Every structure is written in C-alpha cells, then in structure tokens.
Amino acid sequence: MSSLPRPAAAASGFLSAPPAVRLVHAFDRPYENVVATARTCYSAKGIVSEDQASARPERRDALAKSIYEAGHHTTFQHAHFQFALENVSRQFLWTFLHSHPFYNSEQVSQRYVEVGRGQYAIPPLGPAERDLYEKTARRQQEAYARLTELLTPLAAERYFGLFPGRTRGDGGTRFKGAIQKRAQEIARYVLPVATFSYLYHTISGITLFRYWRLCESMDAPAEQREVVGKMVEEVLRHDPLYASVLQDPLPLEETPEWAAFQSLPRTRSAGREFRDEFDRELGGRVSRLVDWKANNEEVLASAVREILGVPRAALSDDDAIRRVLDPSQNRILGETLTLTTLDKLSRALFHPGYTFRKRISHTADSQDQRHRMTPASRPALPAYLSEEPDFVRPMLVADVPEADDLYRATMEETWSAIGELRARGVADEFAAYLLPNAVAIRFTESADLLNLHHKFAMRLCYNAQEEIWRASLDEALQIREVNPRIGPWLLPPCTLRHHAGVRPVCPEGDRFCGVTVWRQEPKDYVRAL
C-alpha cells in the first residue's frame, strides 16, 4: 500500500452544480498488471501473473517507478478506466477531454436531445457579474427555444419535400419529433459552450496520467483541475498503488501556450487582423486545401505494387490506384466495419497526405474533432476573444427572417455581455463560457488518405452535421483537382457501397436522408436539410 498522499481535486469555485465523476468499470488490479506485463517482456518462464508481480512489493514498486520514469509507458496502456461524467461543460469537452486521440466517449447529443433550461456551468463570479452572466445564459436558452419554434415549419416543409409519402394518413404528425430534431439542431447554435453534458468516457492509465499532468493548461484550467482531480481520486480509491507514479500537475504558468501569450504583444486590433487574414486566405471556402504531398498518386501506386510484389509493367499507376480505391475491386471499402487499418492492401492509403485550413463553428468542430486520426492545431480560445461578434450562421436561419433577426440579436447581446464581463475584470477563461456554439473556430487540419477516406465516408453522408458535410465536400472536390486519380473515390458511404455491390445501398435504415446520393456526382450535391 502506497503511503503517498492522494491528489485532491481542487475546489474550482464554480457556482453551478459540481461535476459528478464515477468510475464505473476498471481492471481488477491495474497497477500490478503494469508490473506483470513489464516482467513478462523479459521472462524466460512464460507469462508473469499479477500474483507473482505483487509477491515482493518493494521490487514491484521500484520496477513500476523505473519504467514510468524511463518513458516505457506501453505497460500503463493495458488497464483502462471507464468514467460516467455529469455536469461538465461543452467547453471542457472540446478544449480538453476530446482534444487528443487516445480516448473513447459517448455523450448526449445536442443535435437530437432537447437541452433543458438552467443546464449550464457558472464560473466563480461576483454577485453583479453572476447576474449578468446568468441573464445572458437565460436569453441564449430562450432564443434556443424560440428558434426551434420558428424553424420547425421550414424544417417540416423541407422534410416532407424529401419524403412526400410520409404525409399520408395522419398528415405527417407521427414525424413531428423527427422534424423538431432538425430544427433544434440548428437552434442549438445560440446555446453557450457552458452548457452541461453527460457522457461515458474511457481512457487508459497513461492517458489519465497525462490528463493530470496537463489539467491546469488552457483553456479551462479551473474546471479541468476539478474534473480530472475527481477522476484521479476515483482511480486511487480503486487502486491506491497508482499514487507512487503520479506526477503533480504542471502549473498553467509553465505551459508553452501561456509563456507564448505573455511574451507576444497583445493589441486590441491583433485578433481582428488575425481573423481577417485567415478568412481572406480561405478565399470564400469553408475549408481550403493548403498543402499536399508532391507525389501522392505515384507513391500510392508504388506502395500497392510493393504489397502485391509486381513491377510497373504488370500494374500501371492508374490500375494500382484503382485497385486500392475502387470499391468494386477493393471490397473492404464497402464494409460497415472499418477494416482498412488492418487490411494489407488498404494500408497503402496511409502514404498520401493533405492539409486543410478551415473555419467552422465550435459545435461543428466538437464533432469534427471526434475524427481522432485527422488531427488539428486548434486554438486556445479565450486568448483571442473578440470585441465584435464572430460566428457561423447555419442553414435554414437565413430563410426565416424572424429567426435570422433573433439569431443575429442573440449574437450581439452575447458578445456585448462578454465584453462587459471582461471590462469588469472577469478572467477570459470564465468569460469564454458564454461564447455561443456558433463561435467561429479557425485551425489547420492534416490527415493521411486512409483516415481521410474514412472521415469522408462518414461526413459526406447527408445525415452528417451540415457544416462538417460542407467542409468535407469542399475538401473532397479540391483533392480531385490536385490528385484526379485519387479524388473521385472520396465518396459517401452509400456510393461506396453501391460501387462495392453491397445492398441495401444506404446503411442508415429508417434514417435514410431521402436523396439517392449514389446516383449523383459530388459537384452536384445539394443539401436542403
């Protein structure tokens, strides 16, 4: 049993309901499993058991600490911990919990689940500042409810335009819920990133250590420290032995982002200049292809020949590329279960690479970042809070004048309140919680072709979130221009299945979008809903 003190979750001072953290599943003896796996690497007598690893506690602890300090961390990846988290903000999820590749989460959907009133984080504020903060958050939630009402008739019109047969019998009443979800999907753009979420979150032991070490980094160190502290407490309650290798959190002042912000000149116009410069370089696109490997197609073709062991004379570049990307020849691409990372031929797709610069909303990026193998350099959001509204306007809103007026007014009121809070001395970290889901996020994203192919197969589907769909279409069409032998095979799932001969063509069942996308060219794609 370790005699070291257990790390404690810091009291964040938040005035809302505290985050609830429960460890719901874990290895029985995770720490001793670390030592057992490490000793097995050098065991001439076969597998070392956890009982054997625990037989000599001093030797066990010395080995665990030694391999941890040496950076031999694969042994700490075996044990996983599943947490149930409640009363955590969307900002925390976006900036910290989902900003890396080594996790799995299933969280409540704002697209399909109505958000209840009062469900948002309230940071530590004085009485007057709290009053302003909560008035603004309540206005945002009222606007969400009203926008849902205003957008529902147009959503119904477009829904039944896609599915005219669904009006038979009861006039479409039975689809009221499906239509409301379409409207509230758009209305959620006005909700604050402070809005609470609940989720299951599963990570390995080494990821938990990384969380704890960086829990005081930007953007939301107070909430991060409290939530991660409770996660650590739960794990140490389950297995106190982990305390022997835990490092203390790195103070915010020692993080590279903080140091950079302190050394760089911060003028009132710098943020505006950055945004104008970035948007100008986009050239009117949602996402712009800014870099790609010079020999993408040639390298891909060569990799295919290397896998198959044939010379160029037996398999031309054109035929090699088609062999790996045409679903009629590579039937793996028509599988529901993603097998491309395991299939030998499909792994040739790892070599081509692309880099995009994009501008989408916080709420869209919260889904975009879940594609963990297409990583991006996302911003430290509170560091460039703007004085003027900086937001994305989703589909439907512009087509309903009253909704458009309400949407714009809500953005103006929100940014005005944020500015007032900052003028009163509220830290940017806490003022940022009032930012709406619509706030524009600007970043650069890179991906290899294999993982980009999977992302497009998911996000070119007409059921995908609209902004990510538009960005993905932007990206796929640009790849066609620079790599015309690769680009035509970046397609939605129904079209891939159509080429592979898989039936039914649409894998969504009752969620079919209503459009026979597989019969269209990507340049002709149009989203009505």
Q: Please give the chain's pLDDT, 529 residues, in tens.
A: 333 344 555 667 999 999 999 999 999 999 999 999 999 999 999 999 999 999 999 999 999 999 999 999 999 999 999 999 999 999 999 999 999 999 999 999 998 899 999 999 999 999 999 999 999 999 999 999 999 999 999 999 999 999 999 998 888 899 999 999 999 999 999 999 999 999 999 999 999 999 999 999 999 999 999 999 999 999 999 999 999 999 999 999 999 999 988 888 777 788 899 999 999 999 999 999 999 999 999 999 999 999 999 999 999 999 999 999 999 999 999 999 999 999 999 999 999 999 999 999 999 999 999 999 999 999 998 877 888 999 999 999 999 999 999 999 999 999 999 999 999 999 999 999 999 999 999 999 999 999 999 999 999 999 999 999 999 999 999 999 999 999 999 999 999 999 999 999 999 999 999 999 999 999 999 999 9
Q: Write out the two tokens for 44.
A: 């001439």
For 270-407, strand residue ranges (E) read 287-292, 353-361, 376-377
CA 512 to chain centre: 24
Closest by alpha carbon to 19, among 189, 233, 202, 208? 233
Q: Residues near 354 by Cβ (< 8 Å), separated by ≥ 6?
A: 289, 291, 292, 293, 446, 447, 449, 452, 475, 479
Question: What is the number of other CB atoms lying within 10 angstroms of the CB of residue 163?
Answer: 15
Q: Which residues pair with 435 in a beta bridge?
A: none
Q: Write out the two tokens for 114.
A: 């109505």
Closest by alpha carbon to 410, among 182, 206, 137? 137
Closest by alpha carbon to 65, among 21, 34, 93, 40? 34
- 516 conformational bin, left if phi > 0, alpha if psi -120 to 50, beta if neither: beta
**Which domains, and CATH codes, for the chain?**
20-111+196-260 (3.30.1360.170), 127-193+379-441 (no CATH), 292-358+443-524 (no CATH)
Q: Give the C-alpha separation, 53 to 34, whole Å.
A: 9
Question: What is the number of other CB atoms lying within 10 angstroms of the CB of residue 264?
Answer: 10
Q: Which residues pair with 195 in a beta bridge?
A: 120
Q: Give the C-alpha separation, 136 to 192, whole Å.
A: 9
* φ and ψ of 53, to 5 deg: -65, -30
pLDDT of residue 8: 59
Torsion angle (degrees, nearest 10) of CA 458, 459, 460, 462: 100
Q: Which residues pair with 85 in a beta bridge?
A: 21, 199
Q: Give the C-alpha separation, 223 to 386, whole Å.
A: 22
* φ and ψ of 201, to 5 deg: -140, 125
pLDDT of residue 470: 97
Q: Is the distance from CB of 85 to CB of 199 less than 8 angstroms?
A: yes
pLDDT of residue 11: 65
Q: Give the C-alpha separation, 326 to 303, whole Å.
A: 16
pLDDT of residue 111: 87
- 493 conformational bin, left if phi > 0, alpha if psi -120 to 50, beta if neither: alpha
Closest by alpha carbon to 406, among 397, 415, 396? 397
pLDDT of residue 10: 61
* φ and ψ of 287, to 5 deg: -140, 130
Q: Is the distance from CB of 191 to CB of 144 less than 8 angstroms?
A: yes
Q: Is the distance from CB of 57 to CB of 63 less than 8 angstroms?
A: no
Q: In the block, which residue shows the tokens 């430290």?
A: 380
Q: Give the C-alpha separation, 192 to 143, whole Å.
A: 11
Q: Is the distance from CB of 34 to CB of 78 less than 8 angstroms?
A: yes
Q: Write out the two tokens for 358.
A: 């994009």
pLDDT of residue 5: 42
Q: Give the C-alpha separation, 139 to 190, whole Å.
A: 9
